[in-house]
Structure 1
């Protein structure tokens, strides 16, 4: 999992797990309180560390950061429920969590609201001891009752994600005002102590006379480094730094959250947003378009150094961006059809003609990491897959998955021939130029749903190639809010989807692939994956006892998903492409997870 943090996306997620006991401790010994935990082994930072290595602890506070959001507005300040579209920044700035992850380790976290954590060797429970000084913005202390309220609200009234994420928690016990214990029952879910550290803590007294799902645009009470100071419904939101923020001197916060104000302005069109950045109307931009990166960042402001661009390498998993097929729809129920469609996507042409050769083809759900499968399964990975041999396609064991390539003299032509063969095997044939089901005469037709107009230049050539096969494809461009609602309802045939991953996958994999989420509206099982083998592999990933075993189990899961042909992989870039105005300054060290604007600051006038 996840904040890719794991998930990026619509709900940000990051994973953390309990630190192993020292060699002299027995399994039955009562665990000692620890300042931090790691998924496997010991955390990198020792108790009492002053700050993370990748921040500037002397960064000055002050100034305003102006950001842009390309979306069709917002209608709620509650990001924890499935209803509505939440304003940008709420999760990042308004609410603190029990623990805080580091950005330069595979999966470790350190106390924030929780001063310390206790968990036994078998990780059958976890106890958090809260800091006495932890406060909400209204001055009320953060207590164990607030933590319990938050867990209960999120898992019963919140987004379905939370029910899946914390599904193995069997009991929540408030031991005293500052101590809370989570029991896990019979489970090998070693990640649970860590992902509970990600729990955002909400004020129970604020919600006492309010309905949790109906917050709307009433600014809520939080505990984080910023509070909402101003907003214009659907158009902008401004966060103001809490100058007496209770955690400002704790190691996980030192040198971070340096801007006095952070403002988000909403734009309905990315082209307009880009021109607004060039005009100096906002300050920092992450560029997602290869064409823009190659052509748009020119002019006097860039020549003079007033505005800057950087492509900064990162080491985080790239995950999977792809054309995702909704297998709940009959048209995509046959894996041979799904595989055939992949042969019509010409990545090599798109990379050369649209992307200025900037991208690399994605070939794994865990791309750009050691978790990605490759070659044929062997050794421990083969041992994991062997019990499922009779339930899996032979290709899982006999073929190295690679997305179809058009490299070579007659690449696309040969690929379309392969697609025709697969479609014939699946019971289709061409009649009067139309691909139809042999038995019924029903045409092979579907819609591609997108919300970014710039993606039309990628989708339309793909559509044209499919039409050469006699497949009727329509492209539907909708606004962001409609797109989100249709995703939540699984109301699409094919869409472009990004599935982010972290360096330590775990409980969030249920949300992506487990059959229990096929019909759960709002889940991230976008493709409708419904496989007993995938379910078991997801459970194995969650229960991995060591880092080495986690890698093997994740590779096995990756391989089975790839040979299920649920997606047509797109591309990735192991760099953050950023543009910013020169009054912003960043730390010299960039962590493995890449650029984080919350570690930046405004240059002082004497610099």
Structure 2
């Protein structure tokens, strides 16, 4: 794209007369151009006006202080919750500790009580050109890196261009249609897009971390390193012991501490994360009080192990919190880069071997619900017959889609709960036979190849969880094994797609963009190491479906496109949905305060809670 100078842009868009406090009152697809906005919303009005002082889900009077030692329930990019060997969290190489992102600021930040809103943070204002291909940001004069140097438009432009070329694949995908980032002057940044970006691509783009150009000018960005990077965020690493623990210290003179996007957050003086190779060691540390907050993902532990003295004494609180209203996927991708899994009948046969009712009763203490979709907990789950609007998307693809995509939304098999439902196993055998796999002794073969499946896991707990599935797969003739590997090898094998089948959980934005979904579904990313396209399907249909997601100019249109995508995925079964929990199962030492209102679209406890001295004193802490 040809360079556009500042004067040309101003003449074309009328930005010279823009007002800083003009509210964004229109749908994002029709967001007013030529105006300086304090925030943007994809499909509706912003909840917060330009003069808002804080988000409703925080306590602006929350005290500062104390230590929060927790086990993160989520992570991103190359982060690992079992070990770490680098502090560079924005590349594919290495294993970084969770929450390094707290050390970096971004142009805008999400409101966690709105599904599709971003508010200015590092940027003081944002404006867009008439054709929606150029977004301009005015950076705040007070923005500073931790060494006192200013955060400039040159730093932001450098960051966007660098991360598009050398960043983690999921960042590269987010910025795929950004043609360039340009510093117009010291405080003005332009992000320029090709015109082929989705309508909502900017929602993810504005969350990219801004790095120091001076810091990285004489350091290789793509290397794994334990050097503490120069950053500008509310926290920075203060103590680091690779593979064992990391502490993030709150930056006392953080430049953005009084911004409305920050007020009431980042209350702990120190965030500490300890790393354990297996969950039991971490749980024992929690029982002793060394770790203070834990979200439990093992149903057996939740049902039987939370009876230690601190619980009975009331010093540890065990409770549930409602889950967020965001798409949540927990499923098994079956790797179609291996030809034996390319036939949907093989994947369906594996699915038929999973007796969820038995597993939920005997293994999970009935703590879970069966997943039907990759978009559970959201409005994107398809139900019943396709609507006329969904059919308008599906019909042009009919010749390339399974017939099941046009009927009632596919639901997962319902077993008799015996653990070895004979009717379902007979269906599995029939499907495998139709796919050309014939019995040869105890196993199935086709063209001399044995139908084998190795299920990759990172924790011994899954050996018990998967026991029933493995036995049923063996019963129908699939040579099945479980491979337990260490955390570094597990992540490496995921990144390079070196597995047959693996269990994964992914949380998505409440307003998914075509760019982010492409990482999971697009043919073009099936060979991109580090992307989320773990099934590696070369279907030829997902990109067409994602185009409709990208073009959605209303919430209704987005829901329609997502439900059409859901119908196709469930009919193809590239990912096999397994189970999900309808709430957060949490235990914590009773020494914290937290807001009465929990936001619907995110729950970063480490940012929203605070240390309560009186409570801590009452429990002897």
The reply on whether 1:351 has 2:351 as its aligned counterpart is no
For 1:272, which of 278, 281, 304 is the aligned residue?
281
Using the alignment, how far apart are the partners of 1:557 and 1:252 within structure 2?
34
How big is each residue's C-alpha offset from its partner over 1:364-420, in whole Å with a ceiling of 9 and x where there is no partner? 111111111112212211111111111111111134301111037897110001111
The reply on whether 1:75 has 2:82 as its aligned counterpart is no
Secondary structure of 1:539's match? helix
Using the alignment, how far apart are the partners of 1:599 and 1:252 within structure 2?
12
Query: In the alignment, which residue of structure 1 is the partner of 2:471?
Result: 464
Secondary structure of 1:336's match? helix
Query: In the alignment, which residue of structure 1 is the partner of 2:536?
Result: 528
Quick one: structure 1 residues 572 and 410, their matched pair in 2 at CA, closer, same or farther if it must change by over 3 Å? closer
For 1:54, which of 57, 67, 85 is the aligned residue?
57
What are the equivalent positions in structure 2 for 1:173-572 lying under 5 Å apart? 173-187=182-196, 189-407=198-416, 412-437=421-446, 440-506=447-513, 507-572=515-580
4+ aligned runs moved over 6 Å, structure 1: 23-29, 408-411
How big is each residue's C-alpha offset from its partner over 1:533-588, in whole Å with a ceiling of 9 and x where there is no partner? 11111122122111110000011111111111112221111211111111112111
Using the alignment, how far apart are the partners of 2:324 and 2:215 within structure 1?
40
Using the alignment, how far apart are the partners of 1:546 and 1:357 within structure 2?
38
Give how far 1:460 is off. 1.9
Using the alignment, how far apart are the partners of 1:118 and 1:424 within structure 2?
60
Quick one: structure 1 residues 166 and 585, their matched pair in 2 at CA, closer, same or farther if it must change by over 3 Å? same
Give how far 1:120 is off. 4.1
For 1:85, which of 95, 113, 125 is the aligned residue?
95
Q: TM-score, normalised by structure 1?
A: 0.93
Give how far 1:214 is off. 2.0
**Gaps in structure 2 of 5+ consecutive residues:** 1-21, 73-79
The reply on whether 1:132 has 2:141 as its aligned counterpart is yes
Quick one: structure 1 residues 449 and 63, their matched pair in 2 at CA, closer, same or farther if it must change by over 3 Å? same
Using the alignment, how far apart are the partners of 2:28 and 2:580 within structure 1?
44
Q: TM-score, normalised by structure 2?
A: 0.91
Give how far 1:433 is off. 2.7
How big is each residue's C-alpha offset from its partner over 1:434-460, in whole Å with a ceiling of 9 and x where there is no partner? 2222xx242211211110111111212
Query: In the alignment, which residue of structure 2 is the partner of 1:12?
Result: none
Query: In the alignment, which residue of structure 1 is the partner of 2:67?
Result: 64
Secondary structure of 2:361's match? helix
Quick one: structure 1 residues 595 and 167, their matched pair in 2 at CA, closer, same or farther if it must change by over 3 Å? closer
Moved more, 311-320 or 55-64: 311-320
Secondary structure of 1:244's match? coil
Give how far 1:287 is off. 0.7
Give how far 1:306 is off. 0.8
How big is each residue's C-alpha offset from its partner over 1:438-486, in whole Å with a ceiling of 9 and x where there is no partner? xx24221121111011111121221111111111111100011100000
Using the alignment, how far apart are the partners of 1:24 and 1:339 within structure 2?
41
Using the alignment, how far apart are the partners of 1:563 and 1:292 within structure 2?
35
What are the equivalent positions in structure 2 for 1:112-123 lying under 5 Å apart? 112-120=121-129, 122-123=131-132
Q: Could you say which structure has the greater relative contact order, defined with CA pairs below 8 angstroms and 6 or more residues apart?
A: 1
Query: In the alignment, which residue of structure 1 is the partner of 2:181?
Result: 172
Using the alignment, how far apart are the partners of 2:479 and 2:317 within structure 1?
45
In 1, are the aligned partners of 2:29 and 2:43 still within 8 Å (CA)? no
In 2, are the aligned partners of 1:515 and 1:529 still within 8 Å (CA)? yes
Using the alignment, how far apart are the partners of 1:416 and 1:289 within structure 2?
28
In 1, are the aligned partners of 2:29 and 2:199 still within 8 Å (CA)? no
Using the alignment, how far apart are the partners of 2:198 and 2:304 within structure 1?
48
Give how far 1:39 is off. 1.1
Secondary structure of 1:323's match? strand
Secondary structure of 2:528's match? coil
Using the alignment, how far apart are the partners of 2:27 and 2:158 within structure 1?
37
Query: In the alignment, which residue of structure 2 is the partner of 1:14?
Result: none
Secondary structure of 2:482's match? strand
In 1, are the aligned partners of 2:383 and 2:408 still within 8 Å (CA)? no
Query: In the alignment, which residue of structure 2 is the partner of 1:574?
Result: 582
> What root-mean-square deviation, in Å, do the aligned CA atoms of Structure 1 and Structure 2 show?
2.1
In 2, are the aligned partners of 1:125 and 1:193 still within 8 Å (CA)? no
In 1, are the aligned partners of 2:24 and 2:40 still within 8 Å (CA)? no
Secondary structure of 1:550's match? helix
In 2, are the aligned partners of 1:513 and 1:530 still within 8 Å (CA)? no
How big is each residue's C-alpha offset from its partner over 1:473-528, in whole Å with a ceiling of 9 and x where there is no partner? 11100011100000111100111112322211112001111011111111110010
Using the alignment, how far apart are the partners of 2:465 and 2:566 within structure 1?
26
Quick one: structure 1 residues 20 and 191, their matched pair in 2 at CA, closer, same or farther if it must change by over 3 Å? farther
Secondary structure of 1:247's match? coil
